[in-house]
């Protein structure tokens, strides 16, 4: 029997079964928008649009996920802390997430009003969970195949990728809870494409129910990713339909939070899933 599903509570409220997390990157080299929201005013306007379109969570990032120009701690802080503070003042009800693996950044954004630390690289800085616990905020525990941040896998292999993912993210979630992070503020994320090739990301999607069966709320971050593009033979700006298909499958298999670039389309797709399920 699967363990009971853990509620998800952030910023003083319980999130529903299909929570939308909007991507807002203050980076000049984002793989998807090519720096369109790098400027402070552009990023704040993007947050406004996301909230108006129905986003429950806004995920702010200051460092491109893939390889590129080095971004030190001071520059990451410059990009994200002021924006977090402005969003907190402007949208008190929205959940603010920050995409970072660095404890120094986590500490600063927690003080500025963040509700969630989105550690997409799977825990390279062991202090980040302690920061979340100290500030009473949430944590995303992801799987990146033990890769260093901002690196890509080379001929990566697993005996069973889903087994590896489950073992890592549940161990990280239990560690976070033991450190004092509230259980209802912890999510797990298989992190499609992070430390995985296309075949492995597709396998995770097909078997996502095994992750949701752990009882921890599952976040899926698949929007416009390379595994969708390679599967369909589509460039990054033509992957929207494929993204919606993967979101629908993920929702049917029990995912709870969906990190996306197109909030309005994702909200409509997930509403259709809700209407089609008992």
Q: What is the rounded distance in angstroms from the CA atom of residue 114 to the CA atom of residue 25?
A: 15
Per-residue pLDDT of the chain (278 residues; tens, 9 = 90+): 456 678 999 999 999 999 999 999 999 998 888 899 999 999 999 999 999 999 999 999 999 999 999 999 999 999 999 999 999 999 999 999 999 999 999 999 999 999 999 999 999 999 999 999 999 999 999 999 999 999 998 889 999 999 999 999 999 999 999 999 999 999 999 999 999 999 999 999 999 999 999 999 999 999 999 999 999 999 999 999 999 999 999 999 999 999 999 999 999 999 999 999 88
Q: What is the rounded distance in angstroms from the CA atom of residue 46 to the CA atom of residue 30?
A: 14
Phi (first) and psi of residue 33, to 5 degrees: -100, 0
pTM score? 0.96
Q: What is the rounded distance in angstroms from the CA atom of residue 187 to the CA atom of residue 85?
A: 23
Q: Which domains does the chain have, with CATH numbers?
A: 9-276 (3.20.20.20)
For residue 96, give the 3-state DSSP assignment.
Answer: strand
Helices (H), 13-135: 40-52, 73-90, 103-112, 128-135
């Amino acid at each position: 029997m699967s363990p009971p599903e853990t509620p998800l509570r952030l910023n003083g409220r319980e999130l529903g079964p299909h929570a939308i997390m909007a991507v807002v990157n203050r980076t000049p080299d984002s793989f998807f928008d090519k720096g369109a929201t790098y400027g402070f005013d552009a990023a704040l306007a993007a947050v406004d649009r996301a909230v108006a379109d129905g986003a429950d969570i806004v995920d702010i990032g200051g460092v491109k996920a893939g390889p590129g120009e080095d971004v030190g701690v001071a520059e990451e802080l410059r990009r994200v802390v002021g924006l977090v503070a402005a969003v907190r003042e402007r949208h008190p009800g929205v959940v603010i997430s920050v995409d970072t693996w660095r404890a120094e950044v986590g500490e600063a954004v927690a003080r500025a009003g963040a509700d969630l630390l989105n550690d997409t690289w799977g825990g390279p800085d062991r202090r980040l969970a302690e920061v979340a616990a100290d500030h009473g905020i949430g944590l995303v525990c992801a799987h990146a195949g033990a890769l260093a941040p901002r690196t890509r896998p080379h001929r990566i292999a697993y005996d069973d990728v889903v087994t590896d993912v489950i073992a890592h993210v549940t161990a990280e979630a239990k560690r976070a809870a033991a450190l004092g992070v509230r259980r209802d503020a912890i999510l797990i994320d298989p992190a499609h494409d992070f430390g995985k090739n296309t075949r492995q990301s597709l396998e995770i999607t097909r078997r996502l129910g095994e992750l949701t069966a752990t009882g921890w709320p599952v976040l899926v971050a698949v929007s416009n990713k390379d595994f969708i593009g390679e599967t369909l033979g589509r460039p990054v700006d033509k992957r929207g339909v494929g993204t919606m298909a993967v979101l629908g499958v993920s929702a049917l298999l029990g995912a709870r939070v969906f990190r996306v670039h197109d909030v309005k389309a994702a909200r409509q797709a997930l509403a259709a899933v809700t209407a089609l399920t008992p």
